[in-house]
Structure 1
């Protein structure tokens, strides 16, 4: 049933959604890259596209409901953590080889993006987080690890302008990748790094949704965010560092990363003080943490933390408060913090809480530890040294899976007619860049458009 949104066609019908969700199972054998796994990846990708369409179109979110009903959200967290561990432990070994057939590796990296994209979409609803059970610990830990990674990311290697202010410590690559991968394999490094950077934006939103529901998710999560990991300081550092933005001190140009297109785009200097979506997510996450009595009761604001938080006062001005009025409460908190010490801003006693392990990550680490050599050999045979027939079969499968022309009617939004500037629903079938409201406008505009069409 439509909720009054647009009329984009669905990728999956209700029966297909139910069938795909029911078929989602945790991979016990870790056969990433196999044909069976590629079919699962295709199903998850289609479910993700459908869930985003439903969310954007204000429709009944049947994908989310089905994932909750069949208790499959934890499967997505399992896949997320599995590929993260694979990326850390196995990819550096595979990258030592000449990756002439490295296309088999790309879907594994993109599956991580697909899973975090799906989780970000459905976790907007509080009931989704509540159905994860102890999987919420694994998901929170994953997001926090990516926040640490987010802070270390600097400029894209494609632009080596020394004038760009670098905000990272180190290269931003995973340490093992940086140390063990040869220069000839730089493509897989750049792809892995680019995918990971995009995942950080999704993880930031997901972390904010988790924090928003912290009161209903148990005391173990509070301990995770305050004692095991210093979430308030992570979010503070993100706001201060702004890894999604880079500034050229020589030219005065400012660029921001657009996660939807995975590119850096130059913005007007006047937009420097405009809060983008990522800053808003970080500010909201920090605000929700510092206004929560459970969090403050477990979080000692000693001088180092206090001084770091007080740096944020420089960003809380009339312009930022106009954009996000809720930050006025945070400004008041920081002003009080500046003139007081101890007291209500520090826990009265050290909390004695049992720390809950991350069950999914812990189990996978044990399995990787026991089977490391066997897994490396199996992945080398499957992804690097596979037969020509096997590689051709995978290539055909991937070509069909990533043919986004199949999703064109679904993903397309309305545009502006290139000829008369009216609202348009059709695009040039050749270049798919220009919009037209009618056949007549397209014919009339063709003399100008044919110069650039297809270029």
Structure 2
């Protein structure tokens, strides 16, 4: 929380400096993945046990919420390049984590988006807690998108294994194209455009609908970093599948978007050249 407050008022960030100085960023990443595994392997068992009816579910909620707290902190401090560098080998695990969350985000968008937070009078405390965990998962995935974008800002200093994981194993550029296509943080309700920001859905005024949202901007910047940096270009295997997916970006590169992110003109030129480029075998 202190790190978020420091960033909000544009002051120095002692929390970020302490994490780097004492080498605690890898510990945070390890803790993040440990809680994720607990939620996947242990928490569902609690929810299935019929005679498990704790009077107080707050301790379990704190464990479930712990993942959101860590990813929120990482989103705040990973803006600084030295934090990403201090993650050392655990940045590989963090890339894998972000990929899992973004894949889930794409899958959710194909099934109608995140669940609504409406409770039921007939549900027991554990069922309510499970519902809260599902809602929290959507917000965590959006935070993971921001963390991944900050990692791509450091593409020139990432290890070869990390670049290979991002570009070859996970093919993140194609996954990011999927996110732009589905835009799970936007929806239409009653004919009105809504966007998810600040843990809730906001109705976007007609005059603001052409404005680039923060999350869309994160995706575009990540794509720019992964496709145009010399380090990534040298290691990205451009298959016919990847070429087909990437060329879909041309439909999104409107004049309005280029006015808001002028650097994307370089990406537009890259895509124009890509149409004439021969693909590589997978």
Which of the numbers 55, 58, 69 marks the counterpart of 1:114? 69
Distance apart, 1:217 and its partner CA: 2.1
1:236 aligns with 2:177: yes
How do 1:44-59 residues align onto structure 2 when only pairs under 5 Å count? 49-59=1-11
Which of the numbers 341, 348, 355 marks the counterpart of 2:278? 341
Q: Secondary structure at the match of 1:105?
A: helix
Distance apart, 1:340 and its partner CA: 3.1
Which of the numbers 315, 318, 323 marks the counterpart of 2:260? 323
How do 1:20-31 residues align onto structure 2 when only pairs under 5 Å count? none
Cα 1:254–1:334 change in 2 (3 A) is same
Cα 1:302–1:255 change in 2 (3 A) is same
Distance apart, 1:310 and its partner CA: 1.3
Cα 1:171–1:150 change in 2 (3 A) is closer
Residues of 2 paired with 1:275 and 1:68: CA distance? Answer: 33
| Contact 1:244–1:257 under 8 Å retained in 2 | yes
Cα 1:241–1:297 change in 2 (3 A) is same
Cα 1:290–1:117 change in 2 (3 A) is same
Q: Deviations over 1:145-180 (max 9, x none)?
A: 111111122xxxxxxxxxxxxx3248868xxxxxxx
Q: Deviations over 1:300-321 (max 9, x none)?
A: 2222221211111111111000
The residue that corresponds to 1:93 in the other structure is 45
1:143 aligns with 2:82: no
Distance apart, 1:183 and its partner CA: 6.9
1:191 aligns with 2:125: no
| Contact 2:114–2:135 under 8 Å retained in 1 | no
Question: Structure 1: any 5+ residue segments left out of the alignment?
Answer: 1-48, 154-166, 174-181, 351-455
Distance apart, 1:294 and its partner CA: 2.7
The residue that corresponds to 2:119 in the other structure is none
Q: Secondary structure at the match of 2:110?
A: coil
Q: Deviations over 1:267-313 (max 9, x none)?
A: 12443332100000000001100012232222222222212111111
Q: Secondary structure at the match of 2:251?
A: helix
Residues of 2 paired with 1:265 and 1:58: CA distance? Answer: 26
The residue that corresponds to 2:191 in the other structure is 252
How do 1:251-330 residues align onto structure 2 when only pairs under 5 Å count? 251-258=190-197, 260=198, 262-330=199-267
Residues of 2 paired with 1:99 and 1:168: CA distance? Answer: 35
Which of the numbers 216, 227, 236 marks the counterpart of 2:157? 216
Return the TM-score normalized by structure 1.
Answer: 0.57
The residue that corresponds to 1:425 in the other structure is none
Q: Deviations over 1:366-400 (max 9, x none)?
A: xxxxxxxxxxxxxxxxxxxxxxxxxxxxxxxxxxx
Cα 1:171–1:205 change in 2 (3 A) is closer
Residues of 1 paired with 2:9 and 2:193: CA distance? Answer: 33
Q: Deviations over 1:236-292 (max 9, x none)?
A: 1111110000124xx42211112x2x2212212443332100000000001100012
Q: Deviations over 1:304-350 (max 9, x none)?
A: 221211111111111000111111111111111123323xxx59xx8
Residues of 2 paired with 1:264 and 1:311: CA distance? Answer: 27
The residue that corresponds to 2:20 in the other structure is 68
Distance apart, 1:104 and its partner CA: 2.1
Distance apart, 1:100 and its partner CA: 4.7
Distance apart, 1:69 and its partner CA: 1.0
The count of aligned residue pairs is 272
Cα 1:325–1:151 change in 2 (3 A) is same
| Contact 1:245–1:254 under 8 Å retained in 2 | yes
Residues of 1 paired with 2:42 and 2:48: CA distance? Answer: 11
Residues of 2 paired with 1:125 and 1:71: CA distance? Answer: 15
Residues of 1 paired with 2:225 and 2:25: CA distance? Answer: 24
Q: Which moved more, 1:144-153 or 1:182-191?
A: 182-191
The residue that corresponds to 1:128 in the other structure is 83
| Contact 1:149–1:172 under 8 Å retained in 2 | no
Cα 1:327–1:99 change in 2 (3 A) is farther
| Contact 1:152–1:172 under 8 Å retained in 2 | no
Return the TM-score normalized by structure 2.
Answer: 0.89
The residue that corresponds to 1:35 in the other structure is none
